Amino acid sequence: MNILFDTDLSFLGIQGKVVLKLFDRRHAAGLRLASGAIPWSPALETRYARMIMDGTPAVVQSHLIKRLKAFDSNPEDPRPMDRVAHENCFQVFCEVAFCAKMRTLFEKEVEAYTLLQALQGTVVPRLIAKVTVIEQPEFPRPTNPQCLEVPGLIFQYRDGFPLAEFPRHTPMKLWPAIVDETTRTVCKIMDCGILLHELCPDKVLVKLGDGPGLRIEICFLDFSKCKLLRDFESEEEMRHAQVTYFQDLQPVFTYTLH
Protein backbone atom coordinates (compact mmCIF):
# COMPACT_ATOMS: atom_id res chain seq x y z
CA MET A 1 0.00 0.00 0.00
CA ASN A 2 1.45 3.37 -1.08
CA ILE A 3 0.50 6.71 0.50
CA LEU A 4 1.51 10.02 -1.09
CA PHE A 5 2.36 12.90 1.25
CA ASP A 6 2.21 16.27 -0.52
CA THR A 7 2.32 18.35 2.67
CA ASP A 8 5.34 20.23 3.96
CA LEU A 9 7.61 17.80 5.83
CA SER A 10 10.60 20.12 6.04
CA PHE A 11 10.35 20.07 9.85
CA LEU A 12 11.46 16.43 9.56
CA GLY A 13 14.32 17.36 7.28
CA ILE A 14 12.45 16.00 4.24
CA GLN A 15 12.16 18.19 1.16
CA GLY A 16 9.50 17.70 -1.50
CA LYS A 17 6.79 15.09 -1.83
CA VAL A 18 7.35 11.62 -0.45
CA VAL A 19 5.63 8.25 -0.70
CA LEU A 20 5.12 5.92 2.25
CA LYS A 21 5.10 2.28 1.17
CA LEU A 22 3.61 0.00 3.81
CA PHE A 23 4.07 -3.77 3.71
CA ASP A 24 0.68 -4.36 5.29
CA ARG A 25 -0.82 -7.87 5.19
CA ARG A 26 -4.32 -6.42 5.54
CA HIS A 27 -4.10 -4.75 2.13
CA ALA A 28 -2.22 -7.56 0.36
CA ALA A 29 -5.15 -8.37 -1.93
CA GLY A 30 -3.02 -10.22 -4.48
CA LEU A 31 -1.43 -12.40 -1.82
CA ARG A 32 -4.83 -13.25 -0.35
CA LEU A 33 -6.28 -14.06 -3.74
CA ALA A 34 -3.35 -16.30 -4.69
CA SER A 35 -3.56 -18.24 -1.42
CA GLY A 36 -7.34 -18.52 -1.35
CA ALA A 37 -7.58 -16.77 2.02
CA ILE A 38 -10.63 -14.80 3.05
CA PRO A 39 -10.58 -11.00 2.65
CA TRP A 40 -9.43 -8.98 5.62
CA SER A 41 -12.12 -7.63 7.92
CA PRO A 42 -12.20 -5.92 11.34
CA ALA A 43 -13.71 -9.10 12.81
CA LEU A 44 -10.81 -11.16 11.46
CA GLU A 45 -8.35 -8.64 12.86
CA THR A 46 -9.94 -8.94 16.30
CA ARG A 47 -9.58 -12.73 16.24
CA TYR A 48 -6.02 -12.34 15.03
CA ALA A 49 -5.03 -9.92 17.78
CA ARG A 50 -6.64 -12.08 20.47
CA MET A 51 -5.08 -15.36 19.37
CA ILE A 52 -1.47 -14.38 18.76
CA MET A 53 0.95 -15.23 21.53
CA ASP A 54 3.86 -13.27 22.88
CA GLY A 55 6.55 -14.11 20.39
CA THR A 56 7.80 -13.83 16.84
CA PRO A 57 5.68 -14.86 13.85
CA ALA A 58 7.59 -18.16 13.68
CA VAL A 59 6.71 -18.98 17.30
CA VAL A 60 3.06 -18.09 16.77
CA GLN A 61 2.91 -20.20 13.60
CA SER A 62 4.36 -23.19 15.44
CA HIS A 63 1.73 -22.84 18.16
CA LEU A 64 -1.11 -22.57 15.64
CA ILE A 65 0.15 -25.58 13.66
CA LYS A 66 -0.07 -27.67 16.82
CA ARG A 67 -3.63 -26.52 17.36
CA LEU A 68 -4.59 -27.27 13.77
CA LYS A 69 -3.08 -30.75 14.00
CA ALA A 70 -5.05 -31.36 17.17
CA PHE A 71 -8.25 -30.47 15.33
CA ASP A 72 -7.29 -32.55 12.29
CA SER A 73 -6.56 -35.63 14.39
CA ASN A 74 -10.30 -36.13 14.75
CA PRO A 75 -11.82 -34.99 11.41
CA GLU A 76 -15.06 -36.89 12.00
CA ASP A 77 -15.88 -34.90 15.10
CA PRO A 78 -19.27 -33.33 14.30
CA ARG A 79 -19.24 -30.71 17.04
CA PRO A 80 -19.93 -27.33 15.39
CA MET A 81 -17.85 -25.40 17.90
CA ASP A 82 -14.76 -27.43 17.02
CA ARG A 83 -15.28 -26.76 13.33
CA VAL A 84 -15.65 -23.04 14.01
CA ALA A 85 -12.57 -23.05 16.22
CA HIS A 86 -10.62 -24.89 13.52
CA GLU A 87 -11.65 -22.34 10.89
CA ASN A 88 -10.78 -19.41 13.14
CA CYS A 89 -7.41 -20.94 13.95
CA PHE A 90 -6.66 -21.50 10.26
CA GLN A 91 -7.60 -17.92 9.39
CA VAL A 92 -5.30 -16.57 12.08
CA PHE A 93 -2.54 -18.91 10.85
CA CYS A 94 -2.92 -17.36 7.38
CA GLU A 95 -2.66 -13.86 8.85
CA VAL A 96 0.56 -14.76 10.65
CA ALA A 97 1.93 -16.25 7.42
CA PHE A 98 1.01 -13.06 5.55
CA CYS A 99 2.72 -11.00 8.24
CA ALA A 100 5.92 -13.02 7.82
CA LYS A 101 5.69 -12.82 4.01
CA MET A 102 5.27 -9.05 4.01
CA ARG A 103 8.28 -8.66 6.29
CA THR A 104 10.31 -10.84 3.91
CA LEU A 105 9.32 -8.58 1.00
CA PHE A 106 10.24 -5.53 3.08
CA GLU A 107 13.67 -6.92 3.94
CA LYS A 108 14.31 -7.86 0.31
CA GLU A 109 13.50 -4.33 -0.85
CA VAL A 110 15.75 -2.79 1.82
CA GLU A 111 18.62 -5.04 0.73
CA ALA A 112 18.00 -4.18 -2.92
CA TYR A 113 18.09 -0.44 -2.23
CA THR A 114 21.37 -0.89 -0.40
CA LEU A 115 22.83 -2.41 -3.57
CA LEU A 116 21.19 0.36 -5.62
CA GLN A 117 22.75 3.16 -3.57
CA ALA A 118 24.59 4.63 -6.56
CA LEU A 119 21.40 4.72 -8.67
CA GLN A 120 19.07 6.22 -6.07
CA GLY A 121 17.55 9.48 -7.24
CA THR A 122 18.03 8.57 -10.91
CA VAL A 123 16.59 5.29 -12.22
CA VAL A 124 15.16 4.37 -8.80
CA PRO A 125 13.66 6.66 -6.13
CA ARG A 126 15.80 7.81 -3.24
CA LEU A 127 15.13 5.82 -0.08
CA ILE A 128 14.70 8.31 2.76
CA ALA A 129 13.85 6.22 5.81
CA LYS A 130 12.53 2.97 7.22
CA VAL A 131 9.49 3.10 9.49
CA THR A 132 7.47 0.73 11.66
CA VAL A 133 3.76 1.17 12.35
CA ILE A 134 2.50 -0.73 15.40
CA GLU A 135 -1.18 -1.50 15.61
CA GLN A 136 -2.93 -0.68 18.87
CA PRO A 137 -5.58 -3.32 19.69
CA GLU A 138 -8.29 -2.52 22.19
CA PHE A 139 -6.92 -5.06 24.65
CA PRO A 140 -3.36 -5.37 26.02
CA ARG A 141 -0.73 -5.91 23.35
CA PRO A 142 1.70 -8.83 23.40
CA THR A 143 5.04 -8.04 24.97
CA ASN A 144 6.70 -8.89 21.64
CA PRO A 145 4.36 -7.31 19.08
CA GLN A 146 6.07 -8.40 15.85
CA CYS A 147 2.80 -9.86 14.58
CA LEU A 148 1.20 -6.43 14.97
CA GLU A 149 3.98 -4.47 13.27
CA VAL A 150 3.71 -3.07 9.76
CA PRO A 151 7.12 -2.23 8.26
CA GLY A 152 7.37 0.54 5.72
CA LEU A 153 9.70 2.66 3.61
CA ILE A 154 9.62 6.37 2.82
CA PHE A 155 10.68 7.18 -0.73
CA GLN A 156 11.26 10.31 -2.74
CA TYR A 157 8.21 10.95 -4.93
CA ARG A 158 8.88 10.51 -8.64
CA ASP A 159 6.67 11.98 -11.32
CA GLY A 160 5.75 10.31 -14.59
CA PHE A 161 3.28 7.95 -16.20
CA PRO A 162 3.33 4.13 -16.03
CA LEU A 163 5.34 2.33 -18.68
CA ALA A 164 2.18 0.35 -19.46
CA GLU A 165 0.58 3.58 -20.73
CA PHE A 166 3.41 5.08 -22.76
CA PRO A 167 1.71 4.43 -26.15
CA ARG A 168 -1.13 6.70 -24.96
CA HIS A 169 1.13 9.50 -23.74
CA THR A 170 3.81 9.65 -26.43
CA PRO A 171 3.94 9.80 -30.23
CA MET A 172 4.80 6.60 -32.04
CA LYS A 173 8.17 7.96 -33.16
CA LEU A 174 9.34 7.92 -29.51
CA TRP A 175 8.35 4.33 -28.79
CA PRO A 176 11.66 2.74 -29.88
CA ALA A 177 13.62 5.23 -27.78
CA ILE A 178 11.50 4.47 -24.70
CA VAL A 179 11.99 0.72 -25.16
CA ASP A 180 15.75 1.22 -25.59
CA GLU A 181 16.01 3.42 -22.50
CA THR A 182 14.04 0.90 -20.44
CA THR A 183 16.42 -1.85 -21.56
CA ARG A 184 19.46 0.27 -20.65
CA THR A 185 17.94 0.95 -17.23
CA VAL A 186 17.42 -2.77 -16.66
CA CYS A 187 21.10 -3.31 -17.49
CA LYS A 188 22.16 -0.68 -14.93
CA ILE A 189 20.07 -2.42 -12.27
CA MET A 190 21.52 -5.81 -13.20
CA ASP A 191 25.04 -4.39 -12.90
CA CYS A 192 24.23 -3.79 -9.22
CA GLY A 193 23.63 -7.52 -8.73
CA ILE A 194 19.84 -7.40 -8.96
CA LEU A 195 17.57 -9.36 -11.27
CA LEU A 196 13.99 -8.18 -11.46
CA HIS A 197 11.53 -11.02 -10.94
CA GLU A 198 9.47 -9.74 -13.84
CA LEU A 199 8.93 -6.48 -15.68
CA CYS A 200 5.68 -5.05 -14.38
CA PRO A 201 4.94 -2.02 -16.60
CA ASP A 202 2.60 -0.57 -13.98
CA LYS A 203 5.54 -0.23 -11.56
CA VAL A 204 7.88 1.55 -13.96
CA LEU A 205 7.56 5.29 -14.56
CA VAL A 206 8.36 7.16 -17.76
CA LYS A 207 9.03 10.89 -17.87
CA LEU A 208 9.98 13.01 -20.85
CA GLY A 209 12.50 15.67 -19.93
CA ASP A 210 11.87 19.36 -20.44
CA GLY A 211 13.92 21.58 -22.69
CA PRO A 212 15.56 21.03 -26.08
CA GLY A 213 16.56 17.56 -27.19
CA LEU A 214 15.05 14.21 -26.35
CA ARG A 215 15.52 13.14 -22.73
CA ILE A 216 13.70 10.07 -21.46
CA GLU A 217 13.76 9.17 -17.77
CA ILE A 218 12.88 5.66 -16.64
CA CYS A 219 12.31 4.92 -12.96
CA PHE A 220 11.71 1.47 -11.44
CA LEU A 221 9.61 1.50 -8.28
CA ASP A 222 9.36 -2.01 -6.85
CA PHE A 223 12.15 -4.40 -5.83
CA SER A 224 10.38 -6.46 -3.18
CA LYS A 225 10.23 -9.51 -5.47
CA CYS A 226 13.60 -9.16 -7.14
CA LYS A 227 16.38 -11.73 -7.02
CA LEU A 228 19.82 -10.90 -5.68
CA LEU A 229 23.16 -12.47 -6.50
CA ARG A 230 23.00 -14.43 -3.24
CA ASP A 231 19.81 -16.10 -4.47
CA PHE A 232 21.78 -17.92 -7.17
CA GLU A 233 24.26 -20.73 -6.72
CA SER A 234 26.81 -19.03 -8.97
CA GLU A 235 27.35 -15.95 -11.11
CA GLU A 236 26.97 -18.17 -14.18
CA GLU A 237 23.47 -19.13 -13.05
CA MET A 238 22.58 -15.47 -12.63
CA ARG A 239 23.98 -14.62 -16.08
CA HIS A 240 21.82 -17.33 -17.58
CA ALA A 241 18.79 -15.91 -15.75
CA GLN A 242 19.63 -12.44 -17.09
CA VAL A 243 19.68 -13.72 -20.67
CA THR A 244 16.33 -15.42 -20.13
CA TYR A 245 14.95 -12.22 -18.62
CA PHE A 246 15.86 -10.18 -21.71
CA GLN A 247 14.27 -12.82 -23.92
CA ASP A 248 11.06 -12.40 -21.91
CA LEU A 249 11.08 -8.60 -22.30
CA GLN A 250 10.02 -8.65 -25.93
CA PRO A 251 6.53 -10.11 -25.36
CA VAL A 252 5.98 -7.60 -22.53
CA PHE A 253 6.67 -4.66 -24.83
CA THR A 254 4.67 -6.26 -27.63
CA TYR A 255 1.66 -6.54 -25.32
CA THR A 256 2.10 -2.95 -24.10
CA LEU A 257 2.24 -1.57 -27.63
CA HIS A 258 -0.97 -3.33 -28.56
Question: In which band, very low, low, confident or very high, does the pLDDT at 125 lie, cut at 50, 70 and 90?
Answer: very high
DSSP codes, 169-217: HS-GGGHHHHHHHHHHHHHHHHHTTEE-S---GGGEEEEEPSSSS--EE
Which tens digit of pLDDT belongs to each residue from 12-35?
A: 666 678 899 999 999 888 888 888
Running DSSP on this structure, what letter comes out for residue 230? G
Alpha-carbon torsion (143, 147, 149, 154), positive or negative: positive
Range with the largest mean pLDDT of 63-77, 84-98, 219-233:
219-233
**What is the residue extent of each domain of the chain?**
2-156, 161-257
Q: Which residues contact 171 (CB under 8 A, 6 or more apart)?
A: none
According to the model, what pLDDT value does residue 166 have? 84
Q: What percent of the chain clears pLDDT 90, i.e. is strictly above it?
A: 24
According to the model, what pLDDT value does residue 2 have? 72
Taking domain 161-257, whether its CATH number is 1.10.510 is answered by yes
According to the model, what pLDDT value does residue 255 have? 47
Q: What percent of the chain clears pLDDT 70, i.e. is strictly above it?
A: 72
